Chain A
Amino acid sequence: MYRWLDERLSLSRFNKKFLRKAFPVHHSFFLGEITMFAFITLVLTGIFLTFNYEPSSRLIKYMGRELPAAYASILYIDSLPFGAVLRSVHHWSANVMIAAAFLHMLRILISGAYKKPRELNWLLGLALLGLSVVTAFTGYSLPFDAFSVTATQIGYGIGASMPYIGEWVSQLIFGGEYPTLHSIPRVYSLHVLWFPLLLMALIGAHMLIMIKQKHTQPAYAEKVAPGKILGVPMMPQQGYMMGVLFLLYLAVVFFIGGSYIAHPVEAFGPPTASTPAVKPDWYFLWIYGILQIIPGDLKIPLPFGAAINSEFIGGVLVPGLLGIAAVLLPFLDTRRTKQRYMELPTRHPVRTSVTFALIAFLLTTSLAGWKQEFGFSNLQLWTIIIVGTLATYLASYLIIVSYWGKAPKGEAGELEEA
């Protein structure tokens, strides 16, 4: 059988070229894989969900109650054998995918792996992270319960707050002034078709470029065998490790999904006139926090009657500027030669400290999401955010410089540069 296929498809050549690809062994290298496992799980559980979901917000009779069709179909899914578990696994996997992708990005960031020749893959990775978050957000609206309608309402508002183009963009995505009868079919199409296709295409490109350019080698590889590529082959060693990790991943998310039902639609209830108590998922909490503490009278007028308002600053401008900084990073922090080894974070105190400061910024702005619960004032929160971020940078920089500042040179690819 193998020979028959090999004669027609030259499998041996393919195996030799791709299945023997060397994978460096380092615990931090599994984050990207976990992201992909989460994506595969999302696609598989998503297929189950699409088979049973009804993308419409029209009112129907279900079990003697008048409910939006989408909401009723979620109740139906939850009533199927393992339906609620699979829906929960879909939800938690989205959380894992975003978390793993973000940690993967942090790993690339602190090891300087975005530098030449891997700038393109850094940009693709940023696009994947952004698209994952957007895809997760479009998933929010589909259950059409009180929570998801309010959350999507806010998304519509953030889009509409963009000067000049906002209303058009938001109406395009959400099918008119959300919620309309066009909203769910449109967001559904984006969530189950176009965004996943785009994600698959980008993941494919991300992988192909990674195989073509090879992994950055962990710093130890330079000491063990300078100039050589160290790692285990794709098949069988890495393949088995991936298989074990995937099973482990499934075990964990199914345990969580089986124990905690995600997004309990019955608890939120069908959409109501008044706003339910909502807080976004953790990965939106920082934007939610910033939105709350930007004063409304902050306004920058633009020509033709438009202006930059507080909601645009919090919802679009701050995340946008962070994104632009990330896009520019590999073109500002450059090197002349091709990078082959990961840089040690301790040898790049500024970059490492900026990374820690970024984490501090995201955590303190997330704290602002609890403004009301903790009774903080805007001034207190701004102080915590600004002082927290700067102090983290300073402390991290001083610690790194005083502990590792005098370490001997000649690590992390610096031999090659010299």
Chain B
Amino acid sequence: MSLIAAANICTQGAVSCSDQAWLNTGDNAWQLTAATFVALMSVPGLAVLFGGLVQKKWVVNTMLMTFAGFASVLIVWVLWAFKMGFGAPILHGANWKASSDPISNFFANFVGHPGTTLSAAGLENQASIPLVDPGMPTFALPSASVVYFQFVFAAITPLLFLGSVLGRIKFKVWIVFVPLWTSCVYAVNCMLLWGGGYWAQQGAADFSGGYVIHLAAGVSGFVAAAVIGPRIRADREKALPHSLPLVAIGGGIVWLGWNGFNGGDPYFASADAAAAVINTNMATAAALLTWVLWDTYASAAKKPTFLGAINGMVVGLVAITPSAGYVNGAGALLIGAIDSTIVWFAWTYLSRASFMKKVDDAMGIIYTHGIAGFCGGLLLGIFADPNVVVYQSVGGAQSSLKGLIYGHPKLLLIQFLAAITIILWDGTVTFIILKVIKALMPSHSLKMSDADCEIGDLAAHDEEGYPDPEGAHRVDPGYGERDPVPAGGVS
């Protein structure tokens, strides 16, 4: 394209000022920025948030599993998993038509054909999600922006349920489990709700992952914690966080990172993206303060707590995730306050039930992500405001969502059924994957030995979080040997 032609596109106010007619530079700049914000939530966000919440002896193990898990998801994501979540459904022939049988419809629309995104076209061609394209404006982004944006979500999901299995899972098990989970569980969640698969076709919605990510992480983490087994008794009884300032750093990165998490999901730097960002922050503010109020007036100690505020913050972020770009500001505030209240009571009272005590979900991910995400998806079914427009024109009509209080109760039912599907699929497949890994491990154990768990990082990695130079000296070849005293003594 000549310079003059390119300039014409700009001056004519067409979509693009780049050298590709379909690409909008503003949208693409925001998409890459939003993706980077979300990536920062994992590394270093979750690495230091969880790192601060574990005992000092587990901080290295926690951070390593976060960084290595992040890396392992990207490899399978570009080799096959992105296409499984967002490509063409595996059982669709050229002339596929929806049948009247919901079961066969489900399996025809639950996972995409695996394939790589490595080619030049896979990086630079105009983005496309075959089953979603008809329901949204044409992508103004290259494929790489969508693949990377969706990767950072795929990566953070297993890292969230790392919180359930910390303090005993073997590193080797983790690094095999995560890519398998991404391929067999997460990709299916994506197709069902975001890739245009079965539940999307039924009208279920999940703006940024209340179900795909948070319900999935809560359920999978809980099942994984049950299959792997508990931490050693001393660690369960003294599960004291070792650094609240680290939690503050991680928690802050997670909160503000969520601006990309929810603000990036329209795939356009649009008015709805801006609405999603401020809605996210409103729900989070309401949820944080709600949790602190319950702590102050209803907890045993009757005092506001910092870690309670962080729990409330996380619950607010999770609660608004399914609905951030579908609800108005009042809805966002109510969703934050209601979800935080539900999870506070579950955290305080449901946790006393014997079956909840039996499973050692180390960070309580089933509450702050599982229950919070489940309720957030239902609250979308209640508060979705048809006047909050996601896309101004799809086939000539505005696209938005109508919930219970605007006279459309069916959305609530569809949301509920989608949630049940995620719970059953994710729980079952997580169970099967871990049982298979267990059978294949030479030791038939997914946990470190009790003796190694007593020591922690030093047993697993020969590193500790805060090494003490006192008494340490280097011993690898070439170091640590004193120069021999020359014959005849020192002159």
Tell whether A pairs with B: no
